[in-house]
Amino acid sequence: MANRRLYQLEHCTYDCKYHLVWTPKWRGKVLTDKYIKQELKHIFEQIARWKGFVIHQWHIGDDHIHLVMVIPPKYSVSYAMQILKGKSSAWIKKKVKKFPQGTLWERGYYASTIGLDEHMVKRYVENQHIHHRDIQTLGI
């Protein structure tokens, strides 16, 4: 467990890291605007501070979000996703009027715990821009 940080609450010590991925309801490239990406990062940082989440890595793609984050064990992953998606949808829709009524995000999400393969997952998230550039170059 070298280079792994342990976190503490009053009665527990933990390292609950997750790789979370979700998409907008409109699967097209609706997150391309730099302003939208900055606002999403800002609200994710505020939510993390408010709830005690720790964001280790993120990628806000044009059509999906990746977060590598620590969620304290007092919260379920589904609760964390409810807060992240609900608050960010309300916030961004107040700031940007181009989205239709209703929630910004698709109902589902992907969640995976991160164990010993943490560095591999972080590299994957960090290099998303290269991955998507290569796919576009291939015409896929």
**What are 60-103's pLDDT values in tens digits?**
999 899 999 999 999 999 999 999 999 999 999 888 878 777 88
CATH number of the domain at 50, please.
Answer: 3.30.70.1290
Asked if residue 10 belongs to a domain, the reply is no
Asked if residue 90 belongs to a domain, the reply is yes
Mean pLDDT of 52-62: 94
Q: How confident is the model at residue 1 (pLDDT cuts 50, 70, 90)?
A: very low
Asked if residue 4 belongs to a domain, the reply is no
Asked if residue 122 belongs to a domain, the reply is yes
Q: How confident is the model at residue 116 (pLDDT cuts 50, 70, 90)?
A: low
Q: Give a three-class secondary structure readout of 43-82.
A: HHHHHHHHHCCEEEEEEECCCCEEEEEECCCCCCHHHHHH
Give the contacts of 112 (CB within 8 A, at least 6 positions apart).
18, 19, 121
Q: Is the pLDDT of residue 113 over 80?
A: yes
Number of domains in the chain: 1
Could you list the residue range(s) of the whole structural domain that residue 71 is in? 16-138
pLDDT > 70 in the chain, percent: 88
Asked if residue 111 belongs to a domain, the reply is yes
Residue 57 backbone dihedrals phi, psi, to 5 degrees: -155, 150
CA-only gyration radius of the chain, Å: 16
Amino acid sitting at position 17:
K
Asked if residue 133 belongs to a domain, the reply is yes
pTM score, whole prediction: 0.79
Asked if residue 1 belongs to a domain, the reply is no
CA gap 3, 28 in Å, rounded: 38
